[in-house]
C-alpha cells in the first residue's frame, strides 16, 4: 500500500451554466481520501456536496453542467482526462455509489437480482446462474432474510430499509475501492439508519474500501467518519479529523451547525441555536467570505477577500480570519 | 432481522393481469375478441359453405335455418363471409401493429435517448406524417404498393406508427431523468445498453395500451379502404367490402349492410374496452 491517497480532488470547480448566470455549485474544492478511510462531506442543502461527488464519477449532466477546472486523481490517474470507455470501466467496478432514495435508484420493472447481477456481468464477466448465486450471497451479506427468495422480488416488494440494503449489495458487488454514499440514510427512519450505517462501516472495514459519506447529519459524522470536510456555498470552509471538528470547531459556520443539532453530552436545557439567514445565491456570491452575511463575528476584512485556509492545529484547517481553537468547549 | 414472511411472488405483469380481471368491460371485450378469433380458426372445419361459393338460386335471402344470416346478391352465405371477414380484420389489426411496433419503438427510443440532432430529424419526419390525413396517405401508399393484403398491412402500418414513436420518445425522455438511470450509469452502463435494458421495458405499459387502441383504428381503416373499393381483392371477404356490396341492395336486403356493420362495431368496441382496461391495469398510480 502506498502512502499516496486513493482519491485526490484538487481545486475542483463544477459550474452550471443557466439562463440566469453561472451557478458555481462547486468552486475550488480540494480533498483527499486514503484507502480504507471514511471521510464525510457535511453541509446544508445545496452547498455542493452531491455535485462534487457526481463530478468524481463524471456524471454531471452536460449541458448545463460542466467541470470547469481542477484535477481528480484516482489511484494516480486523472479521471477527468480519461476517455469515455475507460471511465465506464471504472464506474461500478472501482468506484460505486449509494443513492439517497433507493426506490427511485432501482429500476421498478427489473428484479433485485437482475439489477445486482448487472454490474457483475459488466465488470466480472459473470453470467446466468453464477451471477445469480453471487447476488444471493451479496444479499445475505447485507442482511436480507431468505435471499434466495427475495432475489426474485421487484423493488416495490421491498421495504425502504431493505431497498437500501439491496442498493448497498449492488454497490459492493464488484468490491470497489471507493464508495460514495449520498445521504444514504435520509429517507429511512432512525432505527434503520443506525443498522445501515453499521452495515456500511462493517463492509468498508472488511473490504478496506474508502468511503465518502455525504450527509447533513453531524451526529452520523462523529461516529463513522475519520475526517470531516465542511462545505458551504461550494467551498470547503473547514476540515480536520472528526475529533477536531466536533470538539474544536473553528469556523463560525461549523459552530453554528453543531449548535443547531441536539447533543446528549450537554445539559438538556441548552436551547438549539439555528443559523440565521439563508444560504447565499450561488450565482452572485459576495466578494469576501461566503458566510460573511450570516456570520455573527464578521469583520471588515471578511467582506473584502475570501479568507485563506489556515492550519489551526496539525491536520485541522479552517478558512476563517477568526480561526483560533475554540477553548470554551475543550 | 426484518420480516420473515414471504408473500407469493407476483411480477408487475401478474399484478396488472389481476387488476385487468376485475374490470368487467375489459374482460367482456377480451372474451369477445378471443371468441371471434377462435371461430375464425375453427369454423372452416365445420362449415357447409365456402366464402366464395355462389348459389344463384338463392340470392338475397333473409336469415333462415339454412342460411343463418341470409345470402348476398350472389347467393353466398353471409355468416360464412362474416367469419372470413373477421379473419381479414383481425389480421389487419395485429399485423399493422407489429409494423407499428417495429418502426415506432426503435425510432422513438433513439429519438428520446440520443436527443439533439437525431431527435430533431426523427421528430420532424414524424410531424410530416402526422400532418397528413391518415386515410389519404393510406390510399396513396395503397396505390404505390399494390392491392395484396400484405401491402394493405404495410400501408396502414406505415401511417400509424407515429403516435407510438412519439409516446416512446416522451417516455424515454421522462425516464432518462430518473435516478435509476443515473444508478445504471454509476455501475458502468452505457447508452444503448441503458436504453434497451432500462428505458424500453419501463415504457412498455403505455405502449401496449396505445397499440391496443390502435388496433380498432387499423381495422376501421381497412374497412374504409374496402368500402371505397380499394381494399383486399374480391373474393376475399372484408367487412368494408360487404357493406359496400350491400349498399346497392340496401332496400331489398338491409341485413347485408346491417350485419357487417354490427360486426365492425362489436370488434372495435371490444378492442377499445380491452385497451381501456389495460390502461387502468398498467397505470402505476393505481398500483396498491
pLDDT tens digits, residue range B166-197? 999 999 988 888 888 888 888 777 778 888 88
Domain boundaries of chain A, sorted by first residue: 102-175
pLDDT of residue B19: 83
> Which pLDDT tens digit goes with each residue over A246-284?
888 888 888 888 877 776 666 666 677 777 777 777 787
Q: Which of B187, B200, B283 is best to mutate for the A interface (most A CBs within 10 A)? A: B187
Report pLDDT for B272.
Answer: 93
Question: For A126-138, how does the pLDDT look when each residue is reduced to its tens digit (9 = 90+)?
Answer: 788 888 888 888 8
Q: What is the DSSP-derived secondary structure letter of residue B6?
A: -
DSSP code for B69: T
pLDDT in tens, B93-148: 999 999 999 999 999 999 988 888 999 999 999 999 999 888 888 989 988 988 78
Q: What DSSP line would sit under A135-197, residue for residue?
A: HHHHHHHTT-SSHHHHTT--GGGS-HHHHHHHHHHHHTTT--SEEEEESTTSSS-HHHHHHHH
User: Which one of A97, A100, A101, A118 would you mutate to disrupt binding with B, by most B Cβ within 10 Å of its Cβ?
Assistant: A118
Domains of chain B: 32-47+64-286 (1.10.3720.10)
Report pLDDT for B286.
54
Average pLDDT of the residues in A188-217: 85
Residue A228 clears pLDDT 50, i.e. is over it: yes
Give the separation between CA A251 and CA A322, rounded to whole angstroms.
Answer: 8
Q: What is the pTM of this model?
A: 0.76
CB pairs under 8 A between A and B: 84
What ipTM was assigned to the predicted interfaces of this complex?
A: 0.72
Q: Do A149 and B284 touch (CB under 8 A)?
A: no
CA distance A37 to A204: 9
CB proximity A175 to B under 8 Å: no
Q: What pLDDT score was predicted for residue A327? A: 46
Quick: pLDDT tens for A140-198: 888 888 888 888 888 888 888 888 888 888 888 888 888 998 888 777 777 888 888 88
In this predicted structure, what is the pLDDT of residue A326? 47
Find chain B residues with C-beta within 8 A of A214's C-beta: none
Burial zone of A262 (CB within 10 Å; 0-12 exposed, 13-18 middle, 19+ buried): exposed
pLDDT of residue B274: 93
pLDDT tens column, A118-127: 888 888 777 8
Q: What percent of chain B has pLDDT over 70?
A: 94
CB A316 within 8 A of CB A240: yes
Q: What per-residue confidence (pLDDT) applies to A323?
A: 67
pLDDT of B21 > 50? The answer is yes
HEC assignment per residue over A204-271: HHHHCCEEEEEECCHHHHHHHCCEEEEEECCEEEEEEEHHHHHHCCCCHHHHHHHHCCCCCCCCCCCC
Amino acid at each position: 500500500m502506498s502512502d499516496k491517497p486513493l482519491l485526490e480532488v484538487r481545486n475542483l470547480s463544477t459550474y452550471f451554466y443557466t439562463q440566469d448566470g453561472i451557478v458555481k455549485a462547486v468552486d475550488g474544492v480540494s480533498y483527499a481520501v486514503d484507502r480504507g478511510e471514511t471521510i464525510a462531506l457535511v453541509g446544508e442543502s445545496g452547498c455542493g456536496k452531491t455535485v462534487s461527488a457526481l463530478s468524481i464519477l463524471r456524471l454531471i449532466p452536460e449541458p448545463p453542467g460542466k467541470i470547469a477546472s481542477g484535477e481528480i486523481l484516482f489511484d494516480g490517474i486523472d479521471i477527468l482526462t480519461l476517455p469515455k470507455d475507460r471511465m465506464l470501466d471504472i464506474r461500478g467496478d472501482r468506484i460505486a455509489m449509494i443513492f439517497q432514495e433507493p426506490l427511485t435508484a432501482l429500476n421498478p420493472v427489473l428484479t433485485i437480482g437482475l439489477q445486482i447481477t448487472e454490474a457483475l456481468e459488466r465488470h466480472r464477466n459473470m453470467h446466468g446462474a453464477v451471477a445469480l448465486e453471487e447476488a444471493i450471497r451479496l444479499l445475505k451479506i447485507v442482511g436480507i432474510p431468505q435471499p434466495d427468495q427475495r432475489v426474485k422480488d421487484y423493488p416495490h416488494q421491498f421495504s425502504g430499509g431493505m431497498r437500501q440494503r439491496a442498493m448497498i449489495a449492488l454497490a459492493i458487488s464488484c468490491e470497489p475501492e471507493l464508495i460514495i454514499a449520498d445521504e444514504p440514510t435520509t429517507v429511512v427512519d432512525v432505527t434503520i439508519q443506525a443498522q445501515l450505517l453499521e452495515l456500511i462501516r462493517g463492509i468498508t472495514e472488511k473490504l478496506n474500501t474508502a468511503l465518502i459519506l455525504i450527509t447533513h447529519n453531524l451526529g452520523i459524522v462523529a461516529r463513522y467518519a475519520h475526517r470531516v470536510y465542511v462545505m458551504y456555498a461550494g467551498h470547503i470552509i473547514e476540515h480536520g479529523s472528526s475529533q477536531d471538528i466536533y470538539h474544536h470547531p473553528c469556523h463560525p459556520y461549523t459552530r453554528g451547525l453543531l449548535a443547531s443539532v441536539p447533543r446528549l453530552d450537554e445539559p438538556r436545557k441548552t436551547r438549539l441555536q439555528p443559523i440565521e439567514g439563508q444560504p447565499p445565491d450561488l450565482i452572485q456570491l459576495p466578494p469576501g467570505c461566503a458566510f460573511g452575511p450570516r456570520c455573527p463575528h464578521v469583520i471588515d476584512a471578511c467582506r473584502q477577500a475570501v479568507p485563506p485556509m489556515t492550519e489551526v492545529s496539525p491536520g485541522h484547517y479552517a478558512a476563517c480570519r477568526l480561526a483560533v481553537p475554540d477553548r470554551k468547549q475543550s | 432481522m426484518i420480516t420473515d414472511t414471504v408473500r407469493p411472488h407476483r411480477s408487475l405483469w401478474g399484478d396488472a393481469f389481476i387488476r385487468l380481471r376485475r374490470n368487467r368491460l375489459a374482460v367482456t371485450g377480451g372474451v369477445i375478441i378471443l371468441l371471434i378469433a377462435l371461430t375464425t380458426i375453427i369454423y372452416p372445419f365445420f362449415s357447409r359453405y365456402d366464402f366464395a361459393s355462389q348459389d344463384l338460386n338463392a340470392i338475397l335471402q333473409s336469415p333462415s335455418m339454412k342460411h343463418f344470416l341470409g345470402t348476398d346478391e350472389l347467393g353466398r352465405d353471409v355468416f360464412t363471409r362474416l367469419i372470413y371477414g373477421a379473419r381479414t380484420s383481425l389480421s389487419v389489426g395485429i399485423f399493422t401493429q407489429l409494423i407499428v411496433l417495429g418502426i415506432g419503438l426503435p425510432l422513438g427510443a433513439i429519438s428520446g435517448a440520443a436527443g439533439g440532432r437525431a431527435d430533431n430529424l426523427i421528430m420532424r419526419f414524424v410531424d410530416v406524417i402526422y400532418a397528413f390525413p391518415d386515410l389519404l396517405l393510406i390510399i396513396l401508399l395503397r396505390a404505390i404498393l399494390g392491392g395484396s393484403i400484405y401491402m394493405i398491412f404495410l400501408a396502414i402500418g406505415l401511417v400509424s406508427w407515429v403516435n407510438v414513436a412519439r409516446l416512446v420518445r416522451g417516455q424515454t425522455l421522462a425516464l432518462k431523468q430518473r435516478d435509476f438511470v443515473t444508478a445504471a450509469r454509476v455501475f458502468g452502463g452505457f447508452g444503448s445498453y441503458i436504453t434497451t435494458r432500462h428505458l424500453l421495458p419501463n415504457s412498455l405499459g403505455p405502449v401496449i395500451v396505445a397499440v391496443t387502441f390502435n388496433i380498432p383504428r387499423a381495422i376501421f381503416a381497412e374497412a374504409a379502404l374496402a368500402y371505397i373499393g380499394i381494399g383486399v381483392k374480391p373474393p376475399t371477404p372484408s367487412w368494408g367490402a360487404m357493406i359496400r356490396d350491400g349498399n346497392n341492395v340496401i332496400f331489398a336486403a338491409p341485413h347485408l349492410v346491417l350485419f357487417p356493420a354490427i360486426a365492425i362495431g362489436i370488434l372495435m368496441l371490444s378492442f377499445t374496452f380491452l385497451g381501456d382496461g389495460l390502461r387502468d391495469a398498467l397505470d402505476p398510480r393505481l398500483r396498491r
